[in-house]
Amino acid sequence: MISIAIDGPAGAGKSSIARAAAERLNYIYVDTGALYRTIGLAAARSNTNIQNEAEVEKLLKSLDINIVFFNGEQHVLLGDEDVSEKIRTEQASMMASKVSAIPAVRAYLLDTQRDFAKTDNVLMDGRDIGTVVLPNASVKIFLTASPEIRAKRRVKQLEEKGIKCDYDEVLKDIITRDYNDSHREIAPLKPAENAIILDTSDMTLEESIDALVKLVEERV
Ligand code: DC
């Protein structure tokens, strides 16, 4: 099986770029952030005190999270409920960032993520795919863009959905999330030793997809 690890900070366009590249390459696209978001959503709903290890363990034991693919699109199921849309709010995103720093949460998701790469050719997107989840991935790419460009793209994306937002707030959130993700003790966001850095700050979406596909095709 061929596995491609795509890591990088929030809002670098990873999911749009990786999803489209996976489609062109005919690989399964796995968005691992959705799993952390789902745990974040479940923690918020159940009022779990995430500072309390025992409470987190209890929550994890009660969870039934599955990824299914409908027409090639990834959907996340929490029990019977399709939470794919509900995990996309800014609040779920902040909760995801918090729960993702908890060792028990990362351990809980490790096998789920690895299992995908056992049965299919995957292009897996996250923060620690090349460093922790799939250290033997065939190709590792660290996809990034400047915080300002990421904030601009995010504002545009939210406005297109009719959601009002403030550029400075969005930029502040991105910088906070980058800091949290790269300074946590466990599986911090950083390029794997042999990762190729792909900076999309000056690229359009199409150019970024082309660049990613080319990097993979040259190496597998
Ligand atoms: O990619 P995303 O924004 O949907 O990720 C949501 C949060 O989950 C983000 O704060 C980082 C965390 N995450 C992680 O720690 N490890 C992963 N493999 C994927 C996401």
Whole-number Å distance between alpha carbons of 67 and 113: 10
In a domain, 157, yes or no: yes
pLDDT exceeds cutoff 80 at 200: yes
Rg of the chain over Cα atoms, rounded to whole angstroms, equals 17
pTM: 0.90
* pLDDT, averaged across the chain: 93
How far separated are the first and last CA of the chain, in Å rounded?
Answer: 11
Question: Containing domain of residue 209, as a range?
Answer: 3-214
Confirm whether 220 is domain-assigned.
Answer: no
CATH of the domain at 97: 3.40.50.300
In a domain, 67, yes or no: yes
Distance, in Å, from the CA atom of 109 to the CA atom of 65, rounded to the nearest integer, reads 10
When pLDDT is averaged across residues 80-98 and rounded to a whole number, the result is 91
Whose C-alpha lies nearest to ligand 1, atom 9?
Answer: 97
Instruction: Provide mean pLDDT across the span 125-136.
Output: 96
Number of domains in the chain: 1
pLDDT in tens, 27-67: 999 999 999 999 999 999 999 999 999 999 999 999 999 99
Q: How far apart are CA 12 and CA 64, in angstroms?
A: 29
- Structure confidence at residue 124 as a pLDDT band (50, 70, 90): very high
Are 124 and 116 contacting, i.e. CB atoms less than 8 angstroms apart?
yes
Tell me the CA–centroid distance for residue 101 and ligand 1, in Å.
10
